[in-house]
Structure 1
Amino acid sequence: MTVTVRAVKKEDEEKWRHYWDLYNQFYERTIPEETTAITWSRFLDDKVDLFCAVAEDDASNEVIGFVTWFPHLSTSKPKGVVYLNDLFVDPDVRSAGTGGKLIEHVYEHSKSELDTASVYWHTQHFNHRAQLLYVKKGTKTDFVQYSKNL
């Protein structure tokens, strides 16, 4: 399968929402419709540094996955960093290189367009299938994450 990764377009909303729903089901979380709508609108707003790209199967022109990311400042790197926030590929076409292409797209955009120093991301400890890809595309760190809902 040949795949093209490109910036999301307005007409991708229905397919993105489909995969967004599957992604959220996997992580056993419920995102309110208002938040989903705001997120989608941010992708299309040139004044907001929240990016989304989709993977498109060249043979069918169907969207088969997406990735989201955003830059932020860092106290340890003058150029700032990028957080790869979400990554999802259609389960029917996984293990064919699409996830890697989506990650590489974030790397390229982060380097050439955002001029950042690095890209990082998190995954849940049980997401073993994704980690098989992540160890090829990045370095696992020793950091443990903590959070608090406010």
Structure 2
Amino acid sequence: MEYQALQDEIKKAMKARDNARRDILRQVHTECKAIEVNERREVTEADVDAMLKRVIKQTNETLDGSIKAGNNPERTELLTQQVAILEEYLPKQVSGDELLALIDATLAETGATTKRDMGRVMGALTKATGGNFDKAAAAAELGKRLS
């Protein structure tokens, strides 16, 4: 997602009075703004995607704590909604048959045969997909295939 598109989405949420969407997108915007100020450079699409992933991770951790505490169902519902909102803006995740085909191609390309090569294969998968793949499923599949 581009930085300008993020700002436009915040404006749309404000006009629609969608407070949950507005608040979580503002949180991502604040993280991106920190890059702009601290590193004195333009925010790239990769930066916005990285911030989306980071905020999703933080929100999921807060959600887990809220679920374990179990004393505020409204907050738990809001956090669940915010995670779903953020996931809408992430690039499509590679999974299923597409992931298996990519794993096959990467194994052939790298010539990996042992579990020692797993890190190299995961790195190649990350590079090929920009990190947008189901890492747990890929690791499990590689564990089965590599001896």
- The two structures have a TM-score, normalised by structure 2, of 0.25
- The two structures have a TM-score, normalised by structure 1, of 0.24
Could you say which structure has the higher strand fraction? Answer: 1
- Which of the pair has more CA radius of gyration? 2
